[in-house]
Amino acid sequence: MAKKLKITKRRVIQLFSALIYNANLNGFAEGKIYKGASKGLCVPGLNCYSCPGAIASCPLGTLQTALANIGNQWPLYIIGILLVFGVAFGRLICAFLCPFGLIQELLHKIPSPKINKSQWTRRLSLLKYVILALFVFLLPIYTFMKNGAAVPAFCKYICPAGTLGAGIPLVLMNENLQKIAGTLFNWKIFVLLIVIVASVFIYRFFCRFLCPLGAIYSFFNHYALFGITVDEAKCTKCDDCVHFCKMDVHHINDRECIRCGECCQVCHYDAISNFPKFKKDKKGAQNEKI
């Protein structure tokens, strides 16, 4: 008998956020990029500016564009936005507010042999920090300093979310783009196919190993206001939560934890909560969230 697909609250939030991000449905029919006033704002998750449905900008694309003009203006807006999102949510954004994360999770539900996490996947998770440094920071700044015109390297050469949400729809609906789509577009399609196939066998392949936006949010993860909390008085350090988690975590709220809350169901001691818990000490002061 086929296993029923369970619709969780997190899945509903994922679907709703993907719809909000891409609310310009007419864009898909017309093959045009929305250029309204809301494009001056950034959504928290990875969602390409050039997607025909996108009503706002991608923080990663905005960061690269801002760095490209760093000689003329400091990127204070996007830095502030990333700080607000990071301090508030950390990598909770990956679990709840990223459409491409949702796509990977659905792909992983396709019946197939699965590659579980190991010490090697934990090591490979460091690759996204290399991509962040090289493709998001160094290459855009280098090309600007050398040529006076920066290249948003991650968006141009890697981003599979942009290829899926923007590149493919725009090329399919625009004959002029079909004529000029060449080696670079074929390369982007190849990268997308690798990510799609890998996501069937490896949980959140792109998020774990390649996503620089997740790398940025991971720096805030331990201190973010909303997410997972642990009651140390109840916790027995059994690590059932760590073993159950499909991400490459060493402990809850470390850099690889996306704060999805699925670990709550395996804790036998009710020590893990989805929301911040505060308790009063003898002096009445609030204890710090773990």
Q: Are 287 and 276 in contact (CB under 8 A)?
A: no
Q: Are 59 and 154 in contact (CB under 8 A)?
A: no
Query: What pLDDT score does 180 carry?
Result: 85
Structure confidence by residue, pLDDT tens digits, 233-270: 999 999 999 999 999 999 999 999 999 999 998 999 99
- Which CATH number among 3.30.70, 3.40.50, 1.20.120, 3.90.550 corresponds to the domain 228-290? 3.30.70
Query: What pLDDT score does 165 carry?
Result: 95
Query: What pLDDT score does 286 carry?
Result: 35
Q: Which stretches of 125-256 are DSSP H helices?
A: 127-131, 139-147, 153-157, 160-162, 168-173, 175-180, 183-201, 205-209, 212-218, 240-244
Domain ranges across the chain: 9-218, 228-290
Query: How many Cβ atoms sit within 10 Å of the Cβ of residue 120?
Result: 10
Query: How many Cβ atoms sit within 10 Å of the Cβ of residue 273?
Result: 16
Q: Are 221 and 253 in contact (CB under 8 A)?
A: yes
pLDDT tens for the chain, residues 1 to 290: 444 556 789 999 999 999 999 999 999 888 899 999 999 999 999 999 999 999 999 999 999 888 877 666 788 899 999 999 999 999 999 999 999 999 999 999 999 999 999 999 999 999 999 999 999 999 988 887 787 777 889 999 999 999 999 999 999 988 888 888 889 999 999 999 999 999 999 999 999 999 999 999 999 998 899 888 899 899 999 999 999 999 999 999 999 999 999 999 899 999 998 765 444 333 333 333 33
For residue 189 the two structure tokens come to 């399609």
Q: Is the pTM of this model over 0.75?
A: yes
Query: What pLDDT score does 99 carry?
Result: 96
Query: How many Cβ atoms sit within 10 Å of the Cβ of residue 244?
Result: 13
Query: What pLDDT score does 288 carry?
Result: 35
Query: What pLDDT score does 131 carry?
Result: 97
Q: Are 169 and 31 in contact (CB under 8 A)?
A: yes
State which amino acid sits at residue 1.
M
